[in-house]
Chain A
Amino acid sequence: MFYLFEQPERVFELTLEHIRLVGISVLAATLIGVPVGILCTRIRWLESPILNLSGILYTIPSLAFFAILIPYTGLGASTATIALTLYSLLAIIRNTIAGIDDVPRATLDAARGMGMTGRQRLFLVELPLAIPVIFAGIRVATMAAIGIAVIAAVIGAGGLGRLIFDGLRTLDADQVLAGAIMATVLALVGDWALKRLGDALRRDAGAAAEGR
């Protein structure tokens, strides 16, 4: 009766597609967003224009965003990936800046006074201490991307949105439900997994040492 059990291979395949779409986008956004965030803490006047720009990008409705991109990048997964990456930037850049700004002044002053170079301060002190906050940003971005990626099925990007839109077209409520359930499960599992990963990184960094 449930589409989920009737077509497990298709559901599994589309779930993987969804994960790939979200994973690549968030990874790309992290690789761009963290360095951009660091840059904003070094060249302070960049912060407000960059946050404004990524804020504006974030408010564009996803369908409109796809429509803007299609003339340049066509239908399919690459357009969806670009849009999802740009959506994810805001949370990651903002949290990178916040994480680095949160490092106590006294700690930074000590690092300077000990004779750390700028690069050593960044890699030995600022980034390790900012990791929990940066990771929280990545989590938020991932959750949002899992939702938005559903809509990306409209432009042929695949993923769990296929189940929902195919189901809507064929009035197959079971199929719609299967897509919705899987997207929700994916979000919950993804959130849990990222939280675990974040805690592990944090423990490496010693910041969660209190309970040990």
Chain B
Amino acid sequence: MSPLWAGVSLITLEHVSKNFDSPSGSVRAVEDVSFEVDAGALHVLIGPSGSGKTTTMRMINRLETISEGTITINGRDVRDLDVVELRRAIGYVIQQGGLFPHFTVADNVAVVPRLLGWPRARRRQRAEELLALVGLPPKQFADRFPRQLSGGQQQRVGVARALAADPPIILMDEPFGAVDPITRKQLQRELRRIQAEVQKTIVFVTHDIGEAFLLGDRIVLMAEGRIVQNGTPADLLRNPASPFVTEFIGEDRSLRALQHTYLAELAGSRPDGVPDDVPILAGTLSIPQAGQELARHDRSNREGFLVSDVSGRPSGYLTYQQLATVLGESIAPAETMTSAEAAPDPEAAHVLPV
């Protein structure tokens, strides 16, 4: 455990802004951003490109300077800490792993322990431990070089590397953005499994709404440098703060796949004690239709809604959280980074209008 902060690792951003100097003057990349990341929670920062999500994350380990505001970790201002020490105490994962091509897999994993001066044998042992954790048998992989690995395997090494010195905090910058959709889904599930095991405080940047729904305990949706909404995945579905939120969620063209998923398939049996005034939706509605339907109801302060069966009896029940998880699970990850950032398919937009 890092000497900088044992135990809880609460990250707090207070009125954080970032200006970039450009030839045409100062550009505001992040504007008055405040949020908290609870210890042990995975916080997703999501938004279109240029929304300031990556810059916001990079200010936490001071890869970008903070123009205004304060970022604290367990109450300590990150600017008061030695920058090298700070970064070594925070795991960092980037797209394509950012592995050192001239280091073996084991040496890549053990980079931070090496910088911290661990003895060689302990480094090796730690690397093997972590390779096993991320599903790469050390016997087979430890002595290979990154270019001998597939993109997905490199990402796993990247995750193992971030965990090497057991930092309580990990920053992940679109870590799965450059792998194929199937591998990405697999890595996302693996991350969920690893996170359940290691319980790190994670800040996770992505532009993939499916990924955000699947992984995030909370999601901070950003646009043009500001926070549009900060809430749980269910909050974003249930109480979108503005039309932009709904639009952003609906923008994903792969949501179309959900047009063939019906509420009846998802609903569980109605538990006791569900009040009668919750919305009742027909089980024959597809998920996008359900979104439209729910928009007409008062959705505040309700955990879920009833689903009626073929005979019209409201015998099924579905929580907003379940609906969000289904969205995260079934949204095929955007094919590639670029296509995800390309203009939205007009047909696919507004499938979940307010």
Chain A residues within 8 Å of B, Cβ to Cβ: 104, 106-107, 109-117, 120, 124-125, 128-129, 205-207, 209-210, 212
Query: Which residues does chain B contribute within 8 Å of A109, judged by CB atoms?
Result: 63, 94, 98
Q: Which residue of B lies closest to A211 (CB)?
A: B148
Is A125 a contact partner of B100 (Cβ separation < 8 A)? yes
Nearest Cβ on chain B to A22's Cβ, whole angstroms: 30
Beta-carbon contact of B100 and A107 below 8 Å: yes
Interface centre among B99, B102, B161 (most CB of A within 10 A): B102
Name A's interface SS.
helix
A108 CB to nearest chain B CB (Å) = 9
CB contact list, B65-113 vs A, under 8 A: 84-89, 92, 94-104, 111-112
Residues on A with C-beta less than 8 A from B193 are none
14 contacts between A and B (CB under 8 A): A107-B98, A107-B99, A109-B94, A110-B92, A113-B63, A113-B94, A113-B98, A113-B171, A115-B86, A120-B115, A125-B100, A129-B101, A206-B104, A210-B148
**Contact yes or no, B101 A113, CB < 8 A:** no
Closest Cβ neighbor of B161 among chain A residues: A114
B98 and A210: CB pair below 8 A? no
Bound-state Cα–Cα, A107 to B86, Å: 19
Q: Is there an interface contact between B147 and A112, defined as CB atoms closer than 8 Å?
A: no
Q: Are A115 and B85 in contact (CB under 8 A)?
A: yes
A128 (CB) vs chain B CBs: closest residue: B102
- Bound complex: CA A212 to CA B148 (Å): 9
Contacts of A104 in B (CB 8 A): 98
B137 to chain A, nearest CB (A): 19
Contact B102 A106 (CB under 8 A): no
Question: Complex: how many Å from CA A110 to CA B100?
Answer: 8
For A112, the chain B residues whose CB sits under 8 A away are 63, 87
Residues on the A chain within 8 Å of B147, using CB? 209-210
Known: A115-B87, A115-B88; 10 extra A-B contacts, CB below 8 A, are A104-B98, A107-B101, A110-B94, A111-B100, A115-B115, A120-B115, A205-B102, A209-B145, A210-B145, A212-B145
Which residues of B (95-142) have their CB < 8 Å from a CB of A? Answer: 95-104, 111-112, 115
Is A129's CB under 8 angstroms from B63's CB?
no
Q: How distant is the Cα of A48 from the Cα of B161 in the complex, in angstroms?
A: 38
B residues with CB within 8 A of A:
61, 63, 84-89, 92, 94-104, 111-112, 115, 144-145, 147-148, 161, 171
Using Cβ atoms and an 8 Å threshold, which residues of chain A touch B99?
Answer: 107, 110
Point out the residues of chain B lying under 8 angstroms from A120, CB to CB.
115
- Complex alpha-carbon distance, A209 and B84, angstroms: 31
Q: In whole angstroms, what is the CA distance A115 to B162 when docked?
A: 11
Q: Check A110–B112 contact: CB distance below 8 A.
A: no
Q: Check if A106 sits within 8 Å of B63, measured CB to CB.
A: no
Number of A-B contacts (CB under 8 A): 68
Q: Do A106 and B103 touch (CB < 8 A)?
A: no
Bound-state Cα–Cα, A112 to B112, Å: 11
Give A117 to B63 CA distance when docked, in angstroms: 13
B173 to chain A, nearest CB (A): 9
Q: Which residues of A contact B102 (CB under 8 A)?
A: 128-129, 205-207
Nearest A residue (CB) for B108: A110
B144: A residues at CB distance < 8 A: 209
Closest to A108 in B: B98
Distance between B164 CB and nearest chain A CB, rounded to angstroms: 9
Query: Which residues of chain A are within 8 angstroms of B63 by Cβ–Cβ distance?
Result: 109, 112-113
Expressed in whole angstroms, the Cα–Cα distance for A205 and B101 within the complex equals 9
Contact partner, A114, options B92, B97, B101, B104, Cβ 8 Å = B92
Closest B residue by C-beta to A124:
B100
**B115 and A116: CB pair below 8 A?**
yes
Minimal beta-carbon separation of A2 from chain B (angstroms): 48
Partner of B112, one of A107, A115, A209: A115
Shortest CB-to-CB span from A9 to chain B, Å, is: 46
Which residue from B61, B100, B148 sits with its C-beta under 8 Å from A113? B61
For A125, what are the chain B residues with a Cβ–Cβ distance below 8 Å? 100
Which residue of B has the minimal Cβ distance to A125?
A: B100
Chain A min CB distance to B305 (Å): 43
A114 touches B95 (CB 8 A): no
| Chain B: minimal CB distance from A39 (Å) | 22
Given contacts A116-B115, A206-B145, contact A110 B98 (CB under 8 A): yes
A104 to B144, CA, bound (A): 20
Contacts of A106 in B (CB 8 A): 94-96, 98
Output the residue of A109, A114, A209 with the most chain B CB within 10 A. Answer: A114
Q: How far is the CB of A200 from chain B (nearest CB, A)?
A: 14
A146 to chain B, nearest CB (A): 31
Chain B residues contacting A107 (CB-CB under 8 Å) are 98-101
A48 to B133, CA, bound (A): 49
Q: When A and B form their complex, which 6 residue pairs have the shortest distance between CB atoms, in order from nearest? A: A110-B98, A115-B88, A115-B87, A113-B92, A209-B145, A206-B102
B87 with A114: CB separation less than 8 A: yes
With a 10 A CB-CB cut-off, give which of A115, A116, A210 has the most chain B CB atoms: A115
B96 A113 Cβ-Cβ under 8 A: no
